[in-house]
Amino acid sequence: MNKFDKNRKSFVHYIHSADDTNSLSENTILSVYEDINSELWVGTFSGLNKMDRNSGKFTHFKQDPDNPKSISNNYVFSFCEDSNNNFWIGTGGGLNIFDRNSETFFHFTESDGLPNGVIAGLESGNDGHLWISTFKGISRFSVKDKEFKNYDSYDGLVSNMFNTGSYYKNSKGEIYFGNINGVNYFNPSEMKESKFTPSVILTSLVKYNDNSKKEIDISAKNEIELSYKDNIINIGYSSADFTNPQKNKFAYRLEGFDEDWNYSENKNEAIYTNLNPGKYVFKVKGTNSDGVWSSKEASLNITITPPFWKTWWFYGILICTAAGGIVLIQNYRVRQKVKNLIELEKIKENEREMMREQASRDYHDELGHKLTRISLYSRRINKKLRPTANGLTEDLNSIVETSNSLQSGAKDLIWAMNPKEDTLYDFTVRLRDFGNELFENTGINFTSDGINVKYKEINLSMNCKRHLIYIFKEGMNNILKYSRCANVRLTFQMYDEDVEIILSDDGKGFDLNNCPKGYGLKNIFSRAKQIDVNVNITSEDNKGTVIKLKAHIPDLISV
């Protein structure tokens, strides 16, 4: 940009410098404007510049995609101020109004009604509206109502493609816009809109039934009956305003189906598919070429007939048939109810027997096995006492250890049958306490986490909590006996309706492929199968062992 000094007959140059952030943002000048406050504004291909005339420095305003209050586009082509001193800026990406106090922008784009986003020219008319030239015609913008009315070649424009920077308003209020084929000029105060409100005429209805198509003239009809088999209908209509038919707009609705009007611009047909049987009213209204809506509506009553199985007489047959069936069903239900009560009592008796049998089996597995070991140790002591007392202390310790284990197992059985400790929280606390007691004074560090009071809201079946406690007791005992680990960790996690329990150690591990499954592993998998939970055991030499159990909470409640 150049400033001419009249006295010295010389120019002062303002150019972009990469080293000066307050220099001109770009050297290609698209527009220059002095506003009512004598501020000088410069539009470039790289944003908007405001010049400080005293220092010659520039403040830049550029588009920031992350800031909706920045300028809408960096190509700045035009400026104007309206009668209320609002400052308007035309860019290559919409119309902007500038808030001088906050130095922010508000945008109007094609989605708001602009015919095109490139604002080539911008003038404030004496009629109080903004007049805008674009790459797709001229638009009148109501500052008060924030509405656009668009004009194109059908309204007499020489071309719809207007040149940037080619705009002017003379002293008479006439506005000139230059385009690629010439100039259009007009006086906004003298422009008149048509007040004629045309009627809309229904023309035809096309119905599609399977592979057939039939067109019906509905220009003289006010009602029509169609079959439910007519799965597609196309209703045509037109406006009685022929001044500029390309500018006519329409809105339609099908009462009984549409909740509101459908605005279809210049499209003069409405399509509906698979309408349910019933009564509908189709209504349509339109505008003249200046966008004035008519208060008159064209309407058509439409009846969609139902298939025979949805008619009143078919429903009557069904009701009579159903009434006779109800009597037969009621008699059958009484007999069936008596039979079900007898069978239910048998089922309850079987369940009680199964529970007693299961409890007996558990006591046998837990107590019988340990009592056998006590007997074995006792016989060994008896033999050793005869010739000598060597080894007596060791066997006695084994007896004590086995007795303690037997006592713990008995407690678990009693706990499993106690209905007052049926929650998932009770299970997690008991398993944690067992781990603390088992690994105490063993040199192994035992930790647990994930116990949550929310678990109190989840009840477990007696069968489920019994198997769960045995699964992880077996795992902990195996760790103590064989792992040679330094740390053991027990973790509880819940995801939506799934719970996950993880028992891991950092011991020597073992090769699952080459290690035959002993009674302990078999017992773990057997119990998991009985309550339908997934148990996965992973182990590697010198990398420890992980036992991971995952279950669906609703299954734990019902198993």
Q: Which two tokens stand for residue 273?
A: 């598919």
Domain ranges of the chain: 2-190, 200-310, 340-417, 420-558
pLDDT digits (tens, 9 = 90+) for 240-284: 777 777 778 899 999 999 999 999 888 889 999 988 899 999 999
Q: Does the pLDDT at position 203 exceed 50?
A: yes
Cα–Cα distance for residue pair 295/197, rounded to 1 Å: 8
Cα–Cα distance for residue pair 205/219, rounded to 1 Å: 9
DSSP code per residue over 454-473: GGGG-B--HHHHHHHHHHHH
Q: Which range (244-258, 315-329, 532-546) has the least confidence?
A: 315-329
Q: Tell me, what's the pLDDT at 239?
A: 84
Q: Tell me, what's the pLDDT at 403?
A: 56
Cα–Cα distance for residue pair 80/239, rounded to 1 Å: 38
Region 50-76 average pLDDT: 96
Cα–Cα distance for residue pair 268/284, rounded to 1 Å: 10
Please indicate whether residue 66 or residue 459 has the higher confidence score (pLDDT).
66
| φ, ψ at 101 (rounded to 5°) | -75, -50
Q: Does the pLDDT at position 556 exceed 80?
A: no
State the amino acid at position 129 in one-letter form.
Answer: H
pLDDT digits (tens, 9 = 90+) for 14-54: 999 999 999 999 999 999 999 999 999 999 999 999 999 99
Please indicate whether residue 521 or residue 208 has the higher confidence score (pLDDT).
208
Band (pLDDT 50/70/90 cuts) for residue 384 is low
Asked if the domains 200-310 and 420-558 are classified in one and the same CATH topology, the answer is no
Q: Which two tokens stand for residue 433?
A: 């306490």
Region 181-210 average pLDDT: 86
Contact at 8 Å (CB) between 288 and 194?
yes
Choose among 485, 481, 484, 467: nearest CA to 535.
467
Please indicate whether residue 190 or residue 35 has the higher confidence score (pLDDT).
35
Q: What architecture (CATH level 2) is domain 420-558? A: 2-Layer Sandwich (3.30)
Band (pLDDT 50/70/90 cuts) for residue 365 is low
Q: Tell me, what's the pLDDT at 351?
A: 65
- CATH for 340-417? 1.10.287
Q: Tell me, what's the pLDDT at 356?
A: 44
Instruction: Spell out the residues 6+ positions from residue 353 whose beta carbon is closer than 8 angstroms to its own.
Output: none
Hey, which CATH number is domain 200-310, 3.40.630.10, 3.40.190.10, 3.40.50.2300, 2.60.40.10? 2.60.40.10
DSSP 486: S
Beta strands (DSSP E) in 211-353 are 212-217, 223-227, 232-239, 250-255, 262-265, 269-273, 278-286, 298-305
Q: Tell me, what's the pLDDT at 353?
A: 47
Q: What is the mean pLDDT of the chain?
A: 85
Q: Does the pLDDT at position 454 exceed 60?
A: yes
Band (pLDDT 50/70/90 cuts) for residue 460 is confident
Q: How far is CA 356 from the centre of its chain?
A: 52
Band (pLDDT 50/70/90 cuts) for residue 505 is very high
The Cα-based distances of 48 to 70, 96, 482 in angstroms read 11, 12, 77
Q: Tell me, what's the pLDDT at 143?
A: 93
pLDDT digits (tens, 9 = 90+) for 142-153: 999 999 999 988
Q: Does the pLDDT at position 402 exceed 90?
A: no
Please indicate whether residue 461 or residue 451 has the higher confidence score (pLDDT).
451
For the chain, the residue count is: 559
The residue to which tokens 């004035």 are assigned? 292
Q: Tell me, what's the pLDDT at 318?
A: 82
pLDDT digits (tens, 9 = 90+) for 472-494: 988 998 899 888 999 999 999 99
Q: Which two tokens stand for residue 175?
A: 């506005």
State the amino acid at position 520 in one-letter form.
Answer: G
pLDDT digits (tens, 9 = 90+) for 153-170: 888 899 999 999 999 999
Q: Domain 2-190 is in which class?
A: mainly beta
Q: Tell me, what's the pLDDT at 383?
A: 63
Band (pLDDT 50/70/90 cuts) for residue 113 is very high
Q: Does the pLDDT at position 350 exceed 70?
A: no
